[in-house]
Chain A
């Protein structure tokens, strides 16, 4: 438990940022409200953060704030999907998705447009990631696209996790609210668990470059 969380004080000491910066970033929505966790300690109430997430986030903010304004950064970290349309050729040009994924994508959505909403591109990016990791076959990617397309909108930008399991060679995908504990029978192998919010951040970062 203690390893997973870090107190505000420790965080500032570790990262070298000031209280003012932390509060400014909170105001600018660079750090989500629900990462500020209040707990009582023997000295009274203190604020804790999920350690891994906050350290990764602060690292990103510090390294990117010279290139991007705070508002642009906030936009990047925002779980709400960007409203912009993305040109498919940009995806290929910037090496964000491969031709194979794009073909799959085109088959699923029916190829007509040159540009797709950000949300759909996110699906392609997630498929691409699993393909690149070598854990998923092309045919399975088709199923994944279907799951994302029909169920991801229901989360309305709230954090969620993609779970990819296989049982006796048959694969299945599920979307679950983040940090939920799931139990499977013994013959189920959890191939991969993917935090959709961090995929989204990665994709936004790549597109902004």
Chain B
């Protein structure tokens, strides 16, 4: 790796075509097209950037629009605008306040979601905290999953140690939004040690202790420890093992 002090910066103001490479900071304020893999310490985009290759960065902040055709590796990723990644995404911390679309799998330590997240493949983290909407084509697997439903959420499977799904707070805005959007989680199976669900539609829920709060429609609950159910929810069948 190049000495970090000697790295050049890539600053794009206006419309620029650049080539990939090793940079200290990549700063895009205008419209940039980068051909090739990019390795940098800071990647900041307040404009529009499209990178044709893989990206490896320490800190990433996207306030505008970023498209990456390859894989994206970053330690700290903050997305206030829009990111579209064609490959897999690896991170330590990921914060999505805007929108992130990943046409691959995602893995990292911590995800904080307040906007919209879509991944075609699996999504793995130690902590997954969502106060937004998501669509995960594969398995959402995290040690601790805390979901506050703001908008429609879906995943093929959810698995982890602690899984908690709650309806978002009762503000006026939420009430209005609720009429437009369908604030529920739909998922095939939910499996975990401790499970609490509200407003969830699932085929199977399996866990040690399962509590079904209001607004759920579940075909089958299997549990080993305790099972509780809110009277407003539908559970077709429940079995203790």
Which listed residue (B142, B143, B204, B208) contacts A18, Cβ 8 A? Answer: B208
Whether the pair A19, B241 counts as a contact (CB closer than 8 A) is no
Q: In which size bucket is the chain B interface?
A: 20 to 34
A26 and B142 CA atoms in complex are apart in Å by: 10
Secondary structure call for the B interface: strand
Tell whether, in the assembled complex, residue A45 and residue B188 are in contact, meaning their CB atoms are under 8 Å apart: yes
CB-contacts of A14-52 with B (<8 A):
18-20, 22-24, 26-27, 43-45
Say yes or no for B101: interface residue by CB 8 A criterion.
no
A190 CB to closest chain B CB (Å) equals 38
Interface size class of A (residues with CB under 8 A): 10 to 19
For A8, the closest partner residue in chain B by CB is B191
Q: In whole angstroms, how far apart are the Cα atoms of A18 and B195 in the complex?
A: 13
A9: chain B residues at CB < 8 Å are 206
Is A13 in the interface zone, CB < 8 Å from B?
Answer: yes
Q: Decide: A23 near B141, CB < 8 A? Known: A13-B241, A18-B193, A44-B188.
A: yes
B160 at the interface (CB under 8 A from A): yes
Contact B161 A23 (CB under 8 A): yes
CB neighbours (8 Å) of B107 from chain A are 27
Contact B193 A19 (CB under 8 A): yes
Please list 21 pairs of residues, one from A and one from B, whose beta carbons are closer than 8 Å in the complex, sorted by A's number. Answer: A18-B208, A19-B191, A19-B192, A19-B193, A19-B206, A19-B208, A20-B160, A20-B161, A22-B159, A23-B160, A23-B161, A24-B143, A27-B107, A27-B124, A27-B141, A43-B204, A43-B220, A44-B188, A44-B203, A44-B204, A45-B188
Task: Give the interface of A toward B (CB within 8 A).
Answer: 8-9, 13, 18-20, 22-24, 26-27, 43-45
